[in-house]
Structure 1
Amino acid sequence: MSPGVAPGTRPVVVGVDGSRSALDAVRWAAVEAARRETELLVMTVVPTGDRLVARPVLGDRLRQELLARGRRALDEAATAAESAAPGLPVSADLLTGSPVGVLADQTHRAQLLVLGSRGLGGLAGLVVGSVSVALSARASCPVVVVRGADGAERATGPVVVGVDGTPNSEAAIAFGYAAAASRGVPLVALHTWTDVEYAPNLAPLLEWDAIAEEERVVLAERLAGWGEKYRDVPVRRVVGRDGAAAALVRLSADAQLVVVGSRGRGNLTGLVLGSVSHAVLHHSHCPVAVVRPDTAAQER
């Protein structure tokens, strides 16, 4: 049966640049769009403002070549989406400008933005460390970066969510529960604390078992309301000392999705992502969803 589209839903948007990583992102995004009963919008951005394009001798010829590459990338993406989710409604946009700025503007009408982790680089590369990281901090909706050799195809394993014990992680928890419920898999909720929260000279005097119990209570309190809403989602709580990023990366080896929060700001200069989110984006073995506190309402 062909995937349906629920009335009034925002599309899932995927950015492509003609790379193999982008096609992985398209396949992941197509399956996710079908799961959410919405359409897939494939976008590529041709940077016509690049200095090379602006040169009189090269400008027009190079611009036409970039536009032709963009159209080929969209055609390949549409084929990959149809293969991953037959019958899914797919539309395509070829846009011009700065990839970060253009895609960030487009996220106002999306419920999810999906990107590959290793783009072509250069003029149009959507690569972790530049476009993907910047958009994770600036997008108006949650961003998924498809990582891992089999990240676009993995259909087993739990959803993992990082919980920092503050209200900032509430949006990530909500996203994680919804993702686990829609996939019919367990949720692994990870919460860690670090010794730097305590004065070094007091460390020998502290009762670490008692602190660990307090942190388990913190995690339970953060999950309580969501557990009531998603009663059918089995939850495994993991509490540890130190190394949130390393723990999330370790758990990602057997997961199908890792969800992290972000302290990013959505304005033009706001590129604050957070050390944990940044590290997980670079080293996770599976796709990573970055959910900023102010993007939760944009998800559907």
Structure 2
Amino acid sequence: MTYSTVVVGTDGSASSFHAVSTAASLAAATGATLVLACAYLPMRESERAAAADRLGDLAYKVSGSTPADDALRAARGHAAAAGAPDVVLAAERGDAVDVLVSLAARHRAGLLVVGNRGLNSLAGRLLGSVPSGVSHRAACDVLIVHTTDGGR
């Protein structure tokens, strides 16, 4: 089966970059467009002010979508190294599951790729993990890449 569009979620972590590399390899093999997706939630004003006080001139790094944009730029490097021919960056405000499912639908993706982080954690079992939520809600194929030591 070939895919014309593959969406992959990243949060800027090393484990998410493993999922990005896997998705990029698949996109390269099929000539698919790769959509690198990062969800973010705005900081409460009190958190933002405290971070700004500590960071000084670097306070912009924790404002708005900047952390997500930084994660996507780093992920683009991993995607390029894996040979992805066409890469689209998408930083969107919202819950990770909602953002990933929405982007997959909007881009008419055939495949949505996420890492397995959270599947085997207590928090993931109690609160729901991104891989679990995506696998239940996505209208396309879902690939859960084993990106953590517990999943390999």
* 2:5 match: 11
Cα drift, residue 68 of structure 1: 2.2
Check whether the contact 1:47–1:99 (CA below 8 A) recurs between aligned residues. Answer: no
CA distance in 1, matches of 2:138, 2:22: 19
* 1:103 match: 100
Instruction: Tell me the amino acid that sits aligned with residue 66 of structure 2.
Output: A
Match of 2:81 among 80, 83, 104: 83
Cα drift, residue 63 of structure 1: 8.7
* 2:21 match: 27
5+ residue gaps, structure 2, are 53-58, 119-123
Cα drift, residue 149 of structure 1: 6.6
- Cα deviations by residue, 1:246-285 (Å, 9 ceiling, x for unpaired): xxxxxxxxxxxxxxxxxxxxxxxxxxxxxxxxxxxx85x4
1:41 matches 2:39:
no
* 2:91 match: 94
- TM-score, normalising length from structure 2? 0.74
Check whether the contact 1:45–1:95 (CA below 8 A) recurs between aligned residues. Answer: yes
Check whether the contact 1:41–1:90 (CA below 8 A) recurs between aligned residues. Answer: yes
5+ residue gaps, structure 1, are 1-5, 120-126, 151-281, 286-300
* 1:57 match: 46
Alpha carbons of structure 1 residues 148 and 41: separation in structure 2 relative to 1, 3 Å: closer
Instruction: Tell me the amino acid that sits aligned with residue 113 of structure 2.
Output: V
Cα drift, residue 115 of structure 1: 0.8
Cα drift, residue 146 of structure 1: 0.8
Check whether the contact 2:8–2:20 (CA below 8 A) recurs between aligned residues. Answer: yes
Bigger relative contact order, structure 1 or 2 (CA pairs below 8 A, ≥6 apart): 2
- Please give the secondary structure, in 1, of the residue aligned with 2:46: coil
* 2:55 match: none
Cα drift, residue 18 of structure 1: 0.7
* 1:73 match: 71
Higher helix share: 2
Check whether the contact 2:40–2:94 (CA below 8 A) recurs between aligned residues. Answer: yes
* 1:116 match: 115
- TM-score, normalising length from structure 1? 0.40
Aligned 1:227-242 pairs, distance under 5 A: none
Alpha carbons of structure 1 residues 149 and 118: separation in structure 2 relative to 1, 3 Å: closer
Cα drift, residue 118 of structure 1: 2.2
- Please give the secondary structure, in 2, of the residue aligned with 1:118: coil
CA distance in 2, matches of 1:149, 1:113: 18
Cα drift, residue 73 of structure 1: 0.8
CA distance in 2, matches of 1:139, 1:13: 11
Instruction: Tell me the amino acid that sits aligned with residue 88 of structure 1.
Output: P
CA distance in 2, matches of 1:45, 1:112: 18
Aligned 1:1-300 pairs, distance under 5 A: 10-48=4-42, 53-54=43-44, 56-59=45-48, 65=62, 67-85=65-83, 88-108=85-105, 109-118=108-117, 130-147=129-146, 285=152
Runs of 4+ aligned residues of structure 1 deviating over 2 Å after TM superposition are 56-64
Cα drift, residue 57 of structure 1: 2.5
